[in-house]
């Protein structure tokens, strides 16, 4: 047996030595941040803006255009559907960004997905739904697709030099820069994109209204767009809350928002509400989850059950109602408190000559009309060039056909084939192109009928050429062609609105008072900042309150779900909430940690809770140095729904106690120097400024401070007049030893 050869040891290369051969390796080059951004980030940002995220005037992003043009090249305007995977694979010749991205683009353009008013792709199989988060589309190997009939309007005369073509990414194919679309598709189908530093969000409008508005603009540039373009229209239907001023502002600036809400019907027999459409900005799952959360929080108590009954017939969310529920009032609450009514924010950002521009509707129509005029002119010029070429050939043929015998004699007498064309040129005074055409005429065409037809064709071509030249020189005739094409589009594809228009003023649900469950509850607040809300039924059945170790309950309040809560913190702030915002608890649980629920700042803790419905009464802030600030609770009322108020009390002095009173009463203040003082809260003046420092009430000797503040019950101290004073501040009195019992309640 031959001895095994030893493996050749691989030569280990020292990375440092290897880098020594790279010019400039390891060299630190100082560069300004702005220069680095310009050289590295800006090219990327411009690529995202121009080549990916922002649509162009034909209404498409590059990914849309590559997919649709591939399908057009595959002959999918006619014939049966084919597997989506086949289309995706072919599209990768133009779009190298991966099959998943291409297929997602196809899904959104398909009629099965229901994301567009006029889908460009006819689909077969499961393509998911735009209004559902969980209803996903099937894999491309299971679905089929072809181009929808309206896609013919995208490619009309694309082979007649109506638009420019460029090389694809590897220069093996040509693709169009834009589509010569015959209607303003940029406004007909919604489009959204997020680029680097900018975004675009264009809502969809009714095809018929868009075309009619464009026709009106072509006839008169001074039109008011809102007269013919009523409002956006969405494939999911719904109702648009129309405000003329808001809509005209969007039409003018290209920015703004409007509200859209779902539609519903009431089934009296089954006592349920069927929601048949939802806003385009949300999903059925989001609405159902929002309703369930409201029911759990007892903000809505009229609902027994909610479920998604979407099927082949379309979207449907069913809500089972409790007996006696008013469906109209319930829906007003749902419109206000769930995504069933939502705002659609517009940002009409479009690429014009590779530059992003935010434009109003009238500007968009103006740019589209200019683009379409150029397409029509290029088409006519292309047809004109072809007609002139043909006429030129027929003119040469005309000379030959007037003396066919001479032509035959020239051909017969010519010894070499290559001399036929030159001899015909000399014999009839025609150019090489004409002579080549004549030389190719078949022998069977040398008859009277053929000759007469060719002569008639010359006359027709001359008339057509004259007409086309006249059109190219007349702006009004170009406009007439565009108008006729728009009218044809309306006849073929125009449909009625899917989204109803209703008055925003008459249907303003925000003005409706929010109805909150007013059932009684008991509130518990602990020293460590835990909060419990327990119903009377649960409280009767519960045992001992569960608390965190070393924690204790410092406040117990009888309240209702309709009350407001104020939580004062050790960072001189107050957080506002509602009792209904907290879920019902039990004695056997710790409860809600207020700092976590209300999103306190880091290391911030709640120190006192106030329960109120009408913001009557006042707050007392007692400081260690004996000062007291009295602030009316009404100072904490806000017109907006702000959850946090800063400077809730004075931060100049160390706080000892916080108390809330509805009416004035006596309080007993004790100091570390063993002195006591009884003060009636009426003697402390109110100040509306929340962070005022108050007044000096109990003077403190150096090194001493307030250590106890209690509500004083009359008769609890012997000779209580000794501890009262007519003037403030006062030092208070020392209690005699073994005299009276103190029966005050610590706060």
Residues classed as catalytic: 142
Q: How far apart are the first and last CA of the chain?
A: 100
Residues facing residue 200 across a β-bridge: 193
Residues 6+ apart with CB under 8 A from 129: 113, 114, 135, 310, 315
Q: How far apart are CA 534 and CA 524, in angstroms?
A: 8
Cβ neighbourhood burial of 676 (10 Å; 0-12, 13-18, 19+): buried
What residues have CB less than 8 Å from 170, skipping those under 6 apart? Answer: none
* β-pair type (239-242, 500-503): parallel
SS3 call for 534: strand
Per-residue 3-state assignment (H helix, E strand, C coil) for 686-730: ECCCCCCCCEECECCCCCCCEEEEEECCCCCCCCHHHHCCCCCCE
Rg of the chain over CA atoms, in angstroms? 42
Alpha helices in 99-204 (DSSP H): 99-109, 185-188
DSSP state of 95: -
DSSP 8-state symbol, 606: E
**Residue among 464, 223, 488, 477 at smallest CA distance from 373:** 477
DSSP category for residue 96: -
Q: What are phi and psi of 482, to 5 degrees?
A: -65, -40
CB-based contact 562:613 (threshold 8 Å): yes
Alpha carbon of residue 486 to chain centroid: 31
Distances in whole angstroms, Cα of residue 372 to Cα of each of 184, 479, 678: 9, 9, 89
153, 489 Cβ separation under 8 angstroms = yes
Burial of residue 151 (number of CB atoms within 10 Å: 0-12, 13-18, 19+): buried
């Amino acid at each position: 047996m031959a001895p095994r050869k030893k493996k050749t040891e691989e030569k280990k290369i020292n990375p440092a030595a290897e880098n020594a051969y790279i010019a400039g390796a390891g060299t630190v080059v100082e560069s300004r941040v702005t220069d680095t951004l310009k050289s590295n980030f800006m090219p990327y940002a411009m690529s995202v803006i121009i080549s990916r995220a922002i649509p162009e005037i034909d209404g498409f992003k590059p990914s849309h255009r590559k997919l649709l043009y591939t399908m057009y090249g595959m002959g999918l305007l006619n014939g049966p559907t084919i597997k989506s995977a086949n289309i995706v694979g072919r599209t990768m010749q133009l779009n190298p960004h991966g099959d998943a991205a291409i297929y997602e683009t196809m899904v959104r353009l398909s009629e099965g997905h229901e994301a567009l008013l006029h889908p460009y792709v006819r689909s077969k199989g499961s393509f998911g739904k735009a209004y559902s988060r969980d209803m996903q589309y099937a894999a491309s190997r299971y679905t089929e697709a072809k181009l929808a009939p309206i896609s013919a309007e995208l490619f009309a005369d694309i082979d007649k030099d109506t638009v420019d073509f460029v090389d694809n990414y590897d220069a093996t194919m040509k693709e169009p820069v834009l589509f010569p679309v015959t209607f303003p598709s940029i406004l007909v189908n919604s489009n959204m994109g997020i680029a680097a530093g900018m975004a675009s969000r264009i809502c969809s409008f009714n095809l018929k209204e868009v075309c009619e508005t464009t026709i009106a603009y072509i006839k008169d540039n001074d039109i008011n767009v809102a007269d013919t373009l009523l409002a956006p229209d969405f494939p999911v239907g719904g109702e648009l809350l129309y405000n003329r001023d808001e809509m005209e502002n969007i039409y003018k600036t290209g920015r703004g928002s409007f509200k859209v809400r779902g539609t519903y019907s009431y089934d009296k027999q089954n006592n349920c509400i069927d929601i048949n459409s939802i806003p385009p900005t949300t999903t059925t799952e989001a609405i159902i989850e929002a309703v369930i959360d409201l029911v759990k929080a007892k903000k809505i108590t009229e609902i027994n059950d909610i479920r998604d009954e979407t099927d082949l017939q379309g979207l449907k969310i069913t809500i089972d109602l409790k007996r006696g529920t008013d469906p109209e009032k319930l829906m007003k609450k749902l419109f206000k408190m769930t995504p069933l009514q939502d705002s659609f924010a517009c940002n009409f950002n479009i690429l014009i000559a590779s530059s992003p521009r935010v434009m109003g509707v009238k500007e968009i129509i103006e740019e589209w009309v200019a683009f379409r005029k150029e397409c029509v002119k290029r088409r006519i010029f292309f047809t004109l060039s072809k007609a002139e070429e043909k006429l030129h050939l027929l003119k040469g043929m005309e000379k030959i056909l007037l003396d066919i015998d001479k032509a035959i004699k020239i051909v017969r007498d010519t010894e070499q084939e290559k001399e036929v064309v030159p001899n015909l040129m000399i014999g009839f005074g025609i150019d090489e192109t004409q002579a080549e055409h004549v030389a190719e005429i078949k022998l069977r065409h040398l008859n009277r009928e053929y000759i007469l037809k060719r002569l008639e064709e010359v006359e027709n071509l001359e008339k057509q050429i004259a007409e086309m030249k006249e059109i190219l020189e007349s702006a009004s005739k170009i406009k007439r062609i565009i108008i006729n094409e728009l009218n044809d589009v309306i006849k073929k594809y125009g449909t009625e609105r899917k989204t109803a228009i209703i008055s925003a003023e008459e249907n303003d649900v925000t003005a409706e008072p929010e109805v909150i469950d007013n059932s009684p509850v008991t509130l518990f607040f602990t020293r460590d900042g835990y909060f419990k809300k327990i119903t009377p039924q649960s409280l009767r059945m519960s045992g001992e309150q569960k608390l965190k170790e070393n924690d204790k309950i410092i406040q117990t309040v009888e309240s209702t779900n309709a009350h407001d809560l104020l939580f004062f913190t050790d960072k001189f702030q107050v957080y506002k909430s509602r009792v209904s915002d907290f879920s019902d608890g039990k004695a056997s649980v710790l409860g809600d940690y207020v700092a976590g629920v209300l999103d306190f700042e880091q290391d911030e803790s709640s120190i006192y809770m106030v329960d109120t419905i009408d913001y009557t009464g006042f707050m007392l802030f007692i400081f260690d140095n004996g000062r007291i600030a009295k602030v009316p609770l009404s100072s904490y009322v806000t017109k907006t729904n702000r959850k946090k108020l800063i400077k809730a009390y004075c931060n100049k002095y160390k706080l000892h106690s916080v108390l809330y009173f509805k009416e004035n009463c006596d309080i007993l203040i004790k100091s570390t120097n063993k002195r006591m003082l009884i003060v009636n809260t009426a003697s402390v003046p109110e100040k509306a400024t929340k962070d005022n420092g108050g007044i000096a009430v109990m003077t403190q000797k150096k090194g001493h401070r307030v250590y106890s503040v209690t509500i004083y019950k009359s008769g609890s101290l012997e000779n209580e007049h000794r501890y009262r004073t007519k003037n403030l501040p006062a030092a208070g009195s020392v209690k005699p030893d073994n005299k009276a019992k103190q029966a005050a309640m610590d706060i």
